Amino acid sequence: MQTFPADSLPPELANCDARLGLVLGSGLGSLIDGFGDLIEIPYGEVPGLPRSAVAGHAGKFVIGTLAGVRILAACGRIHLYEGYRADEVTTLVRAMHAAGCERLILTNAAGTTRLHQPPGQWMLIEDHLNLTGTSPLEGGPNFIDMSEVYSEPWRESFLESAETLDLELGRGVYAGLRGPQYETPAEIQMLRHLGADAVGMSTVLEAIQARALGMEVAGFSCLTNWAAGLGDGHLSHQEVMETGLSVADDFVRLLSHHLAHQK
Ligand code: HPA
């Protein structure tokens, strides 16, 4: 695993003083609208970062403050389905680590496979299935412990915040697939049997990378649609983006409460 060369970070990133990183998934870019003191750094200004061309993925770092806490947010991620290798997909995470982030919150848009967790709800990721067939750690380091990728104390704390706010927060296992196509109904049935509660095309590689760097990780799926075969319509990227936009506020409330009560 190559580390990100800290001396190639632009000064705003190198000196950002944010120990918390946040990666925003499809349609979730508006999460940063409520942050104060925004500084924006387009990925193009960071040497060595691949750029994403997917609609809804802006491709910039934003440094801001929420509930008095400095946050380095990555708006727009890199995906395997764009043709990048696993270690390229996770360059963003290495850059955030080099910029000083010790904790990382990963968000994504996902299809829900469980009737009790409908679209429009957030799901706290308790564990994942890496079904991408690859890893950012190919070539080493080997044998990183994956017993608790998503920090249990951190999860507990988010659940407490959700309860205080009376916000419905589901929980479960996120399955990360390569895409770029959505799944077939048969694939969703298979994934349900495997234990997947939500399905998407990101997050797992970033979580693996972050754990290999010793970062504490939390993950949230914005359940944007019924997984294939469970709803009555067809899946569309448009639907995913619209649902993401409509529930972004819930996540900002949850994160603000969490940050204000646990520093
Ligand atoms: N499947 C895969 N990825 C997704 C989905 C889905 O149903 N919704 C949002 N991202």
User: With 90 as the cut, is the pLDDT of residue 53 above it?
Assistant: no
Tell me, using a 6 A CB cutoff, whether residue 227 lines ligand 1.
yes
Q: For the residues 195-214, what does the mean pLDDT come to? A: 98
Ligand 1 geometric centre to CA of 112 (Å): 8
From 26, 52, 108, 130, the catalytic residue:
26
Q: For the residues 2-9, what does the mean pLDDT come to? A: 85
Stated pTM of the model = 0.95
User: With 60 as the cut, is the pLDDT of residue 222 above it?
Assistant: yes
Residue 34 binned pLDDT confidence (cut-offs 50, 70, 90)? confident
User: With 90 as the cut, is the pLDDT of residue 69 above it?
Assistant: yes
From 225, 228, 241, 258, the catalytic residue:
225
Per-residue pLDDT, 31: 84
Average pLDDT of the residues of the chain: 92
Ligand 1 geometric centre to CA of 94 (Å): 25
- Region of 53 please: left (phi>0), alpha (psi -120 to 50) or beta: alpha
Three-state SS annotation for the chain: CCCCCHHHCCHHHHCCCCCEEEEECCCCHHHHHHCEEEEEEEHHHCCCCCCCCCCCCCCEEEEEEECCEEEEEEECCCCHHHCCCHHHHCHHHHHHHHCCCCEEEEEEEEEECCCCCCCCCEEEEEEEEECCCCCCCCCCCCCCCCCCCCCHHHHHHHHHHHHHHCCCEEEEEEEECCCCCCCCHHHHHHHHHHCCCEEECCCHHHHHHHHHCCCEEEEEEEEEEECCCCCCCCCCHHHHHHHHHHHHHHHHHHHHHHHHHCC
Per-residue pLDDT, 6: 86
Token output for 174: 């996120």
Name 249's bridge partners: none
Tell me, using a 6 A CB cutoff, whether residue 225 lines ligand 1.
yes
Q: For the residues 41-62, what does the mean pLDDT come to? A: 78
Tell me, using a 6 A CB cutoff, whether residue 240 lines ligand 1.
yes
pLDDT digits (tens, 9 = 90+) for 95-134: 999 999 999 999 999 999 999 999 999 999 999 999 999 9
Q: Which atom of ligand 1 is nearest to the CA of 200?
A: 3
pLDDT digits (tens, 9 = 90+) for 127-158: 999 999 999 999 999 999 999 999 999 999 99
